[in-house]
Structure 1
């Protein structure tokens, strides 16, 4: 953490705490909403696999690509001003999400909301730290801040489920004209909370620590563009395939930009990231497990939302209940994890947490996925035990990974080690839905191709019609049947097919709809089984790697305690 100084302010301490705690709760509510609603978005927007991945990943990227700069800008120009900006951007992002009618609109809304949350997380923390100079007192208020963050993670899925259940206009199909899907009310609630944060912040105290601080603009630009290019390539590969020229070019551009970022960071006097940290092998291992372990967590969360809501067609409130079991332990176990980190070598806590996450991933990979419960699919309640195991594992790892990191570096590098580990951890969160989608939809499309051709051929469709529909991904048949039929009819007419022949083929397709959608669901189920398995492997590898970390001490130093608590639940769900 940077040196903390205050600037003259007429605000009150009480208002500062209320504003900061409300802001971090708001940020985590908006942060967790896309995860709980991924399956709902698939049905609502009739989106492709890539579109669904953009919705889930864009919010997280809005946090990751700028998170090392927002705190610095608050230090330079005043944290209260940045809090205003973050709350205002959150209002805009939440309102845009509530009004979104297309996948593209929702992606843009998530990008705006992610930037707002990315500002509120570090700024709310630094504001209360600035008015609490004593180390012990600061550790306590940071723990309270962490509690409100975890509370937001618990509120979010409940809010999504409640509004989806009780605020949807009855008798009107989601996405139809004049329809109001209840989940939109959750974003309106978030917008209202953001307005309240703005009002309370008017009486908050300001603070800054500008002395000697300088923004690493070349490093920030190359890091942001490099990460976005890699994200774009991976998401595009969900539908286009990894061999696509567009995907290859984007990966190449991202790689060049990230190499440029490393070169810049090695030469600048005040870098975003001190690369010397990675000369420490123990810290490097911690950085790796921060990415792989948190990737495993978010891959399971994203997959569960799509599988239970999008494929099994469970009501949104049921997904909300499942996410309470995922997020609840992080809130309930705050005192337990705090005690463990202070009395047990953090790497053992971290290893145990990753091992539990691995158990969850392997357990879920054995479920039969892709079939609604009414047709013999896995009951949604069966997900509760493995997801509770995942939640306990996450509670143990999200703070411990930073505790281990700061114990492997000299005292003067604790602040940078904590910030860099946070970045790597959040990068893992962002990669969860992105890589998970690439795996699930890639395997699903491959598994779907053969059975689909057989069904279409059996329905009497000509070979050219079969080849045209073969390019439609399985999620398209599940979430956008009407769109598939309209596209097929338009292409057939444009190809010169007579109207009676087109009508006959459409009738044949509609007759085969249950069979096609059943195969599409089970094919995607196989893909998400592979994601759960991949998450389990990533988590168990993370657990093994942590065993080779040789920490400098078995517990954090007194100066490190506040840094550890600060990062304990600054995680995304």
Structure 2
């Protein structure tokens, strides 16, 4: 592979821009984890709405990260870094000013596109100016450390701003869009400006020789994944039998089949499908998806079940997410030593086993009821979530190490890039599939009990029928809206005002029973998600036992040089 073309600039500024940029991208990515409870209350978001807020960021990364890596090689990585910072800047400002679920989703989508640029481009910029393979390995490890640091900063930032600035804003009478959790997004926007300023003085680099955009492959995989994942999110509210959901799956399947056909015929494919002929690599690819699905399904379930349903304060959610994300940052040197000391597949096995324990543990905790009303104390989640964090720390880097250990040296770069794409796909599936499971089960359980509660409250049959379409989360996060819609529909149907007032009074008297049932029903749904995540992590751990590979990931200097250059060029996030 040819050497990259490098222009004049400051090496220190290049490293600083890359490290700050990847920290920024991860901060923006992880913020909703601690804030979904706030979003549910302020936006009166539906289950699908909360899912979109979390998943659209990761979907954007999955869809575009490989292509942005190629674009950086062709046209210069510095330009792409400017673009990534600009997208994150715009996304954080839109999110900070959001007053509706739709606007928040737009902000997250913009931020996700920016992160999809920053992750591969920031890594390739610093690797390109590193003089040898060993120094490249060091800067990659440092880059990964800053990525993990962003994941730790994010929940702390969310918790502090929500706690301090909500109080300060209320006392000062500040407008809603300038207080509380929104300050975290404004601070992220400031960091995006810092990235832009640092990038002005950084070195530019490109490596266009042999690089080519696989436009048909990019279009089909992007639209195919968007269609399939969007259908899963829509199923949260509409159900899997809805025509729009079925149509989404059909369109997604057709496009993804077309992607496979295109890649098999492409001279320079986006993904080299011949890699999957290797059984060990194929198994590694499966566990990259299923294992990371388990991780983010647990994270998303915690943010909704504990933050939104149980009403745990944002700063406490921040603490819980520090226990999830902190080990990945603290254990970087330990994991690196383990991977080189022992076969990385054993590190991977132990990591998935710990994640499975977390899933099974929390699936047995009562969910959906606030602690003040006898629900599970928030501190009860610390121990299992810490196990999840340790498990994630052991698997995040190990899955790539195992992948490159199962292929020939000349395929290492593509294997690394493809594995990271599949890992990010697992991240995207976590909230989308997890949410569909939780809210489907929750809706079925709630429908069974709601009718009995409303009948016992003395509401007429037509009023009960009018309330049956309200999702369980709507009764929890938007009670006033439910009352307003309910009374409006009764008046529109011709009911006299006295009857409407009586029905509203009866409904208000039953508020505690209805909200208790809604929380418990959705809590049961999320218990199922934790169980599914535990099973997925268990399957991942078992599958790793069938992976063959060398004892260590140590390679010669020449192989390491080729691996690093190829992996970065292919958009890999190592």
Q: TM-score range by the shorter chain?
A: over 0.9
User: Displacement of 1:378 after TM fit?
Assistant: 0.7
Question: Deviation string for 1:16-41 (max 9, x for gaps)?
Answer: 11111110110111011122222221
Which residue of 2 is the match for residue 41 of structure 1? 39
Counterpart-to-counterpart distance in 2, 1:7 and 1:402:
28
Question: Deviation string for 1:243-273 (max 9, x for gaps)?
Answer: 1111111100000010111111111111100
CA contact (8 A) 2:2 2:209 kept: no
RMSD: 1.9
Residue 140 (structure 1) aligned with residue 138 (structure 2):
yes
Q: Is the alpha carbon distance of 1:404 and 1:490 closer, same or farther for their aligned partners in structure 2, counting shifts above 3 Å? A: same
Which residue of 1 is the match for residue 232 of structure 2? 234
Which residue of 1 is the match for residue 111 of structure 2? 113
Indicate the larger mover: 486-495 or 422-431: 486-495
Question: Deviation string for 1:168-226 (max 9, x for gaps)?
Answer: 156969xx974654110000000000001101111000000011211111111111100
Secondary structure, counterpart of 2:140 in structure 1: helix
Taking the TM superposition and a 5 Å limit, the aligned residue runs for 1:101-180 are 101-169=99-167, 178=176, 180=178
CA contact (8 A) 1:158 1:321 kept: yes
User: Displacement of 1:486 after TM fit?
Assistant: 1.5
Indicate the larger mover: 460-469 or 20-29: 460-469
Q: Is the alpha carbon distance of 1:561 and 1:506 closer, same or farther for their aligned partners in structure 2, counting shifts above 3 Å? A: farther
CA contact (8 A) 1:168 1:180 kept: no
TM-score by length of 1: 0.96
TM-score by length of 2: 0.96
Which residue of 2 is the match for residue 8 of structure 1? 7
Q: Is the alpha carbon distance of 1:320 and 1:7 closer, same or farther for their aligned partners in structure 2, counting shifts above 3 Å? A: same
Of 91, 94, 97, the match for 1:96: 94
Taking the TM superposition and a 5 Å limit, the aligned residue runs for 1:354-365 are 354-365=352-363
Residue 212 (structure 1) aligned with residue 176 (structure 2):
no
Counterpart-to-counterpart distance in 1, 2:441 and 2:518:
11
Structure 2 unaligned regions, length at least 5:
none
Secondary structure, counterpart of 1:548 in structure 2: coil
Which residue of 2 is the match for residue 263 of structure 1? 261
User: Displacement of 1:304 after TM fit?
Assistant: 0.7
CA contact (8 A) 2:169 2:179 kept: no
Which residue of 1 is the match for residue 462 of structure 2? 464
User: Displacement of 1:480 after TM fit?
Assistant: 0.8
Of 10, 17, 20, the match for 2:18: 20
Secondary structure, counterpart of 2:269 in structure 1: coil
CA contact (8 A) 1:297 1:535 kept: yes
User: Displacement of 1:496 after TM fit?
Assistant: 1.4
Secondary structure, counterpart of 2:528 in structure 1: helix
Question: Deviation string for 1:43-101 (max 9, x for gaps)?
Answer: 12101111111111100011110111111100100001100000011110000000000
CA contact (8 A) 1:4 1:208 kept: no
Q: Is the alpha carbon distance of 1:561 and 1:370 closer, same or farther for their aligned partners in structure 2, counting shifts above 3 Å? A: farther
User: Displacement of 1:6 after TM fit?
Assistant: 2.5
Which residue of 1 is the match for residue 198 of structure 2? 200
Q: Is the alpha carbon distance of 1:344 and 1:538 closer, same or farther for their aligned partners in structure 2, counting shifts above 3 Å? A: same
CA contact (8 A) 2:34 2:307 kept: no
Counterpart-to-counterpart distance in 2, 1:45 and 1:217:
38
CA contact (8 A) 1:370 1:524 kept: yes
Secondary structure, counterpart of 1:65 in structure 2: helix
CA contact (8 A) 2:169 2:178 kept: no
Counterpart-to-counterpart distance in 1, 2:13 and 2:179:
35
User: Displacement of 1:433 after TM fit?
Assistant: 0.5
CA contact (8 A) 1:62 1:111 kept: yes
Counterpart-to-counterpart distance in 2, 1:406 and 1:199:
36
Indicate the larger mover: 350-359 or 460-469: 460-469
Indicate the larger mover: 538-547 or 139-148: 139-148
User: Displacement of 1:515 after TM fit?
Assistant: 1.1
Secondary structure, counterpart of 1:168 in structure 2: helix
Counterpart-to-counterpart distance in 2, 1:256 and 1:36:
36
Counterpart-to-counterpart distance in 1, 2:416 and 2:363:
33
Question: Deviation string for 1:415-434 (max 9, x for gaps)?
Answer: 00000000000000011010
Counterpart-to-counterpart distance in 2, 1:20 and 1:321:
27
Taking the TM superposition and a 5 Å limit, the aligned residue runs for 1:493-512 are 493-512=491-510
CA contact (8 A) 2:72 2:206 kept: yes
Which residue of 2 is the match for residue 539 of structure 1? 537
Which residue of 1 is the match for residue 412 of structure 2? 414
Counterpart-to-counterpart distance in 1, 2:175 and 2:445:
35
Counterpart-to-counterpart distance in 2, 1:94 and 1:401:
31
CA contact (8 A) 2:220 2:255 kept: yes
User: Displacement of 1:3 after TM fit?
Assistant: 5.1
Which residue of 2 is the match for residue 305 of structure 1? 303
Which residue of 2 is the match for residue 348 of structure 1? 346
Counterpart-to-counterpart distance in 1, 2:200 and 2:132:
25
CA contact (8 A) 1:403 1:564 kept: no
Q: Is the alpha carbon distance of 1:303 and 1:225 closer, same or farther for their aligned partners in structure 2, counting shifts above 3 Å? A: same
Counterpart-to-counterpart distance in 2, 1:463 and 1:524:
25
Structure 1 unaligned regions, length at least 5:
none
What is the number of residues matched between the two proteins? 566
User: Displacement of 1:518 after TM fit?
Assistant: 0.8
Residue 295 (structure 1) aligned with residue 293 (structure 2):
yes
